[in-house]
With several copies, the nearest count.
Chain A
Amino acid sequence: MADAGGCREVAVLARGGMGPEGERHGLVRLAVENPGWDTAVAGQFAMLRPVCFGQELTWARPLSLFGVTPERLEFFIQVAGRGTRRLAAMNPGDRLVLWGPLGRGFAVEPDTPTLLLAGGVGLAPFAPYIAAHPRPDNLRLVFGHRPPLAAYPFAEMAATIQAESFHEEKPGDLDRFTALLRERIAGYRDGLVLACGPRPFLSAVADMGRAAGARVQVSLENRMACGVGACLGCVEKDASGELVQTCVRGPVFWAKDLEAFSGHHGTPGKNGGCACGN
Chain B
Amino acid sequence: MRELGVDLAGLALKNPVITASGTFGYGLEFSRYGDLKTLGGICVKGLSLAPRQGNPMPRVAETPCGMLNAIGLQNCGVETFVRDKLPFLPWRDTAVIANLYACEAEEFAELAGVLAAEEGVAALEVNISCPNVKAGGILFGQDPAMAARVTEAVKKRAGVKPVMVKLSPNVTDIAAVARAVEAAGADILSLVNTLSGMSVDVFSRRPRLANVIGGLSGPAIKPVALRCVWQVCRAVGIPVIGMGGISSAEDALEFILVGAHAVQVGTANFLRPDFAFRLVEELPPLLERLRVSSWEEFRGTLKVE
A binds B: yes
What is the interface of chain A, defined by CB distance below 8 A to chain B?
2, 5-7, 49, 55-60, 97, 99, 222-223, 225-236, 241-243, 248, 269-278
Q: A58-B267, A97-B272 are in contact. Are A277 and B194 (CB under 8 A)?
A: yes
B233-254 vs A, CB cutoff 8 Å, 1 = contact: the mask equals 0000000000000010000000
Q: A275-B211, A276-B215 are in contact. Are A231 and B131 (CB under 8 A)?
A: no
Give the shortest distance, in Å, between A272 (CB) and chain B (any CB): 6
- Give the CA-CA distance A49 to B62 in the complex, in Å: 14
Q: Are B54's CB and A273's CB within 8 A?
A: yes
Q: Are B24's CB and A276's CB within 8 A?
A: no
Q: Are A243's CB and B68's CB within 8 A?
A: no
Q: A230-B30, A271-B52 are in contact. Are A225 and B67 (CB under 8 A)?
A: yes
Of B71-79, B175-183, B284-292, the one touching chain A: B71-79
Interface SS, A side = loop
B249-273 vs A, CB cutoff 8 Å, 1 = contact: the mask equals 0000000000000000001011111
- Give the CA-CA distance A232 to B53 in the complex, in Å: 10
**CB-defined contacts of A278 to chain B, threshold 8 Å:** 21-22, 46, 69, 71-73, 101, 127, 129-130, 193-194, 215
Q: Are A231's CB and B101's CB within 8 A?
A: no
B82-118 vs A, CB cutoff 8 Å, 1 = contact: the mask equals 0000000000000000000101000000000000000
- CB<8 Å pairs between A and B, sample of 27: A5-B32, A49-B271, A58-B65, A99-B33, A99-B274, A225-B62, A225-B67, A228-B30, A229-B25, A230-B23, A231-B71, A232-B54, A235-B59, A235-B74, A243-B54, A270-B50, A272-B52, A272-B53, A272-B55, A273-B71, A273-B72, A273-B73, A274-B52, A275-B137, A276-B193, A277-B214, A278-B46
Q: Are A226's CB and B73's CB within 8 A?
A: no
Q: Are B215's CB and A228's CB within 8 A?
A: no
Minimum CB distance partner of A7 in chain B: B274
Give the shortest distance, in Å, between A65 (CB) and chain B (any CB): 17
Q: Are A228's CB and B271's CB within 8 A?
A: no
Give the shortest distance, in Å, between A122 (CB) and chain B (any CB): 20
Chain B interface category by residue count: 35 or more
**CB-defined contacts of B267 to chain A, threshold 8 Å:** 58
- Give the CA-CA distance A276 to B166 in the complex, in Å: 13
- Give the CA-CA distance A234 to B29 in the complex, in Å: 15
Give the shortest distance, in Å, between A199 (CB) and chain B (any CB): 11
Q: A59-B67, A223-B58, A230-B24 are in contact. Are A277 and B211 (CB under 8 A)?
A: yes
Q: Are A277's CB and B70's CB within 8 A?
A: yes
Give the shortest distance, in Å, between A2 (CB) and chain B (any CB): 7
**CB-defined contacts of B219 to chain A, threshold 8 Å:** 55
Give the shortest distance, in Å, between B101 (CB) and chain A (any CB): 7
- Give the CA-CA distance A209 to B63 in the complex, in Å: 38
User: Can you name 5 extra interface pairs (CB under 8 A) apart from A58-B267, A223-B61?
Assistant: A226-B269, A230-B269, A243-B74, A271-B51, A278-B69
Q: A7-B274, A58-B271, A243-B74 are in contact. Are A228 and B56 (CB under 8 A)?
A: no
Q: Are A58's CB and B213's CB within 8 A?
A: no
Among A2, A6, A235, A276, contact of B130 (Cβ-Cβ < 8 Å): A276
- Give the CA-CA distance A270 to B131 in the complex, in Å: 18
